[in-house]
Structure 1
Amino acid sequence: MWGYYVALALRSSGRSKALTALVIVLLAFGVSACMVSYAVFRATTSDPLPAKSSRLYVPQVDNFGPSHTWQNEPPYTLSYTDAMVLWQAHKASRQTLLYPAIWQMESDDGSTPAMSLGGDAVTADFFAMFDVPFRFGSGWAANDDEQRATVVVISRRLNDKLFGGQNSVGKAIRLDGHVFRIAGVLEDWNPKPRFFDLGTFFNKAFDDAGDIYIPFTRGIAMQKDSTTYNGCPTESGVYDTSRWDARLTSECAWIDAWVELATPAEVARYREFLNNYAGQQQRLGRFSWGPNVRLRNLMDWMAYMEITPRASSLSMLISASFLLIVLVNVVGLMLAQFMRRTPEIGIRRALGASRSAIYRQFLIEGATMGFVGGLVGVALTLLGLWGAGGLFEPKIARLVHVDASLIALTVLLAVVATVVSALYPTWRAAQTQPAWQIKINS
């Protein structure tokens, strides 16, 4: 029976080629515009660590005070004082501190040209917390943090450049005049967005991950400054941040912190710990305001930081509006196409066809046009994604990819949209009175 209705739909569409083609083309353009925008939106809002995102949390402590915060939200990052207290308290199964920096790499024999390398100063738990894959070796141990060890983990990209892709664990490189021993080489790892140092790197969330990772404590010992965000609660000049000891004792917030909490009970306990710590600082006179803390998991943190490019959100709104306009026009075209066939409908009703049979016939006809429109829409979507670089920044455009789910969703959206558009024209067609049509055509 379904095959009969599909064959009937194809024959009927063949008798109204112009209207059918117009419906298919309109649908294809409307659906493809939506899917191109959706593909970009999906790429910029996807979970960068789906296996663990619900267990990774960002602690925030308000050390600025109500007169220096926005909507009473604590700073994105922590001061050195607060960061060290949270890290040394060991109230989570894993915790890490980090901040981005740039190192100058030189070689002793001059065989490798000097270069600037970006990366992060991190604590030992960083690699396990974020499931960072290793090609050779591993991260460093917790006692390396305590000893401010001169060890380094490098990216595969840098290892290929320096050592031809060979196992370089145990070899040395010179960073800012200090010799570092390579503890590990990462496998390809370049999460998008760059979520792990989002608090300091929020305006560069889709930049590539760095090539250098050294112990956080070694970075502090080298007086290595953060290359990005450095928020202070008062007017500039109050803290002489050019002096490193003043930077470490100031209220300037510049360190990202993460904790891993596996259960709701652990989350509740850690939140209580944050509140108790902030309350203690108030009693000590450091804070003149009540505890103001936050503990957001990875996806909530990304949403709070609003890292999705405005162009992506705006294009979603525009393309959805365009699709709505397309569907209004499709309703009119299908109404014209279906009502031209009232004599056929009248005869079918007179021969015993029920209204439900008419509904099935025309809705299947609409779904068939939607399916064809979806296939054309897939081609237009591929073309649109190929040209996405003209609408979005290259670092955003290159994140967009086509997969089976996107193709299936394009076709499904076209079919559903057409069936919904066909509801009113089908209802009108099903109201045809067989006796009236027979009398007119007799």
Structure 2
Amino acid sequence: MFAYYLHLALRSLRGNPVLTSLMVGAIGLGIGASMTMITVLHVMTADPLPGRSAQLYRPHLDPTPLDYKQHEGSPDPSDNFTWPDAMALLDAHKATRQAAMAGGSLLVRPARAGMQPFDATGRYATAEVFGLFGVPFTYGQGWSDAQDKTRARVVVLSDGLNRQLFGGQDSLGQTVRLENTDFRVVGVTARWKPDPLFYADTSTRQYADTDEFFLPLATAVDLELGVNGNFSGWGKDRAEDRMHSPTTSWLQFWVQLDSPAQVAAYRQFLVDYSAEQKSLGRFQKPATHAALYGLMAWLAHQNLVPDDVRLQLWLALGFLLVCMTNIVALLLAKFLRRSGEISVRRAMGARRRDIFLQLGIEAAVIGVAGGVFGLAIAQLGLWSVRQRPDDYARLAQMDVPMLLGTVALAIVASVLAGLLPAWRACRLPPGFQLKTL
């Protein structure tokens, strides 16, 4: 029976190609515009570390004074950690793994003849960062806690930087000169690119390229290497002391917690730590300002999706609604014009639900054709998004779930649009229409 109804639908649509093209075009434009923005929102809110994100948490302390006034549009200084607070949480060892970190940009001076120096961005971090984030290695491994403490001159290269400097070969033990210091290579990571860079400073481009190197945090501080990100100070410390200052925040801090009980205990630890610092006169705000964010909750807290993207999504969905309204009108006109055919079928024994099913399948066929057209429109829309200068623009790629979702949305939209016209057509009194034939 389905094949028969499909045959009737195709014959009906071929019988009026202009009206069919209008309906397919309308649903395709609406679906294409909507799926363009839905895809952008999908990639911007995707889990950057599937399978691991549920155990990753971002502690939050607020050491700023009560009278601190944040300038409009400037980063919240409490989103980062001061050096004393980060070191205190590290020394407490209350989590399965923990790491303090900051971003940096250094001049790479290649030893290979003919290669010019170039800038590379990377991460200064404590030793557990690799196990914490599950960073895969092609060669070697990260450095040890002991090397952290001794401020060892060691470096872990990304797969891309290793190819650039050593042609992708095993570079363990080789020397890389960053700025004016030689570092020994102890590891090379495999391709690893979480989107967004959830662990980066909130003032940096979090949809930028991956880190090209990792250095021990204490080594970077000891060498006074440049830091990317936001230094927020609220005290009167000398500029040269700001890295170690208790009134300057610049570090990011992440922990791994494996159970709800561990999460609850760590949250209480943060409250207790804040209360202790308040009693010592360092913190002024209530201890309840301490918080613990899961990875996805932290991304939501940072509001990484720009307001213009959300606005464009609502506009696209509004356009889809307008297109569906037009489809309802076109299908109603089309189905009512076939009242004579419908009446003959009813007179020959077809039930109302048979007519309703037949017309519903016709609407679904329009949806399939509109979905295919919508895919082309969506791909064009995503291409235009990728031409924008925004750092998230390169992510505007449609994956398999979005491809299937485009066609599914088109079918659902067309079937919903066809419900009223189909119901209205199958309710026509067949006797009256037969008299006019």
Q: TM-score w.r.t. structure 2 length? A: 0.94
After TM superposition, give the deviation of residue 112 of structure 1 in Å.
Answer: 4.4
CA distance in 2, matches of 1:289, 1:305: 21
Partner residue of 1:140?
Answer: 143
Amino acid at match of 2:299: M
Q: Which moved more, 1:152-161 or 1:330-339?
A: 152-161
Equivalent position of 2:260 in the other structure: 264
Higher mean displacement: 109-118 or 136-145: 109-118
Give 1:161 deviation, angstroms. Answer: 1.7
Q: Distance in 1 between matches of 2:36 and 2:96?
A: 41
- The counterpart of 2:305, out of the listed 291, 304, 308, is 308
Distance in 2 between residues matched to 1:135 and 1:168, nearest whole Å: 10
Whether contact under 8 Å (2:63, 2:283) holds in the other structure is yes
Q: For residue 430 of structure 1, report the CA deviation from its aligned partner.
A: 1.4
Backbone CA RMSD of aligned residues: 2.0
Question: Counterpart of 1:389?
Answer: 386
Q: What code does the residue aligned with 1:172 have?
A: T
Contact 1:69 1:75 in 2 (8 A): no
Structure 1 CA distance for aligned equivalents of residues 43 and 229 of structure 2 = 24
How far off is 1:155 after superposition?
1.4
Contact 2:208–2:392, Cα closer than 8 Å, also in 1 = no
**2:362 & 2:115 partners in 1: Cα distance?**
68
State whether structure 2 residue 168 is matched by structure 1 residue 168: no
Corresponding residue of 2:409: 413
Partner of 2:182: 179
8 Å Cα contact 1:68-1:233 kept in structure 2: yes
- Give aligned-pair identity as a percent: 35
Instruction: Provide the rounded CA distance (Å) in 2 between the counterparts of 1:429 and 1:67.
Output: 69
**Alpha-carbon offset, residue 313 of structure 1:** 2.1
- Of 278, 282, 287, the residue aligned with 1:282 is 278
CA deviation map 1:26-83 (0-9, x unaligned): 1111111111112222221111101111110000111013433779x87111111111
Instruction: Give 1:394 shift.
Output: 5.9
Secondary structure of 2:244's counterpart equals helix
How far, CA to CA, are the matches of 1:345 and 1:203 in structure 2? Answer: 64
In structure 2, do the counterparts of structure 1 residues 438 and 114 end up closer, same or farther at CA, with 3 Å as the change threshold?
closer
Q: Hey, what's the Cα distance between the residues in 2 that align with 1:367 and 1:384?
A: 24
Kindly indicate whether residue 102 of structure 2 is the aligned counterpart of residue 106 of structure 1: no
Count of residue pairs the alignment pairs up: 432
Asked whether the equivalents of residues 158 and 188 of structure 2 are also in contact (C-alpha less than 8 Å), the reply is yes
Which runs of structure 2 are paired with 1:215-294 in the superposition (5 Å)? 215-233=216-234, 238-240=236-238, 242-244=239-241, 246-291=242-287, 292-294=289-291
Cα 1:425–1:274 change in 2 (3 A) is: same
Matched letter for residue 156 of structure 1: D
Helix, strand or coil: the match of 1:209?
Answer: coil
| Matches of 2:15 and 2:176, distance apart in 1 | 75
Question: Could you tell which deviates more after superposition, 4-13 or 413-422?
Answer: 4-13
Pairwise CA distance, 1:190: 2.5
Q: Which consecutive residues of structure 2, in runs of 5 or more, have no partner in the other structure?
A: none
Q: Secondary structure of the residue that 1:46 maps to in structure 2? A: coil
Kept after mapping to 1: 8 A contact 2:221/2:243? no
AA at the equivalent of 1:211: E
- Give the 3 Å change call, closer, same or farther, for CA 186–178 of structure 1 in structure 2: same
Q: CA contact under 8 A between 2:324 and 2:413: conserved in structure 1?
A: yes
CA change 1:185–1:333 in 2 (3 A) is: same
Q: Separation in 1 of the partners of 2:112 and 2:17?
A: 75
SS across alignment from 2:11 = helix
Residue 83 (structure 1) aligns with: 86
Cα deviation 1:217-250 (Å, max 9, x = unaligned):
111211234222112236xxx333x212x54123
The Cα of 1:144 is off from its aligned counterpart by 1.2
1:429 to partner: Cα distance: 0.6
Give the counterpart letter for 2:372 in structure 1: L
How far apart are the structure 1 equivalents of 2:286 and 2:191?
45
Equivalent residue of 1:249, what SS?
coil
Summarize the Cα distance change of 1:11–1:125 in structure 2 as closer, same or farther, 3 Å threshold: same
* Paired AA for residue 18 in structure 2: A
Q: Which moved more, 1:39-48 or 1:10-19?
A: 10-19
**Which position in structure 1 is the counterpart of 2:337?**
340
Amino acid of the residue matched to residue 350 of structure 1?
A
Q: Is the 8 A contact 2:148 2:218 kept in 1?
A: yes
Cα deviation 1:97-156 (Å, max 9, x = unaligned) = 000112233357876433332211101111111111212111111211122111100112
Return the alpha-carbon distance in structure 1 between the equivalents of residues 109 and 433 of structure 2.
Answer: 90
CA shift at 1:385, angstroms?
Answer: 2.5
1:263 corresponds to which letter in structure 2? S
334, 356, 359: which one aligns with 1:359? 356
* 1:230–1:320 distance in 2 versus 1, CA, 3 Å: same
- 1:46 paired residue number: 46
SS in 1 for 2:255: strand
- 2 CA distance for matches of 1:60 and 1:225? 24
Match of 2:98 in 1: 95
Maintained 8 Å contact 1:16/1:337: no
Correspondence for 2:127: 124
- State how far apart, in whole Å, the 1-side matches of 2:155 and 2:130 are: 12
Alpha-carbon distance in 2 for matches of 1:395, 1:74:
23
Tell me the residue number matched to 1:7. 7
1:208 and 2:209 matched: yes
Residue number in structure 1 paired with 2:25: 25
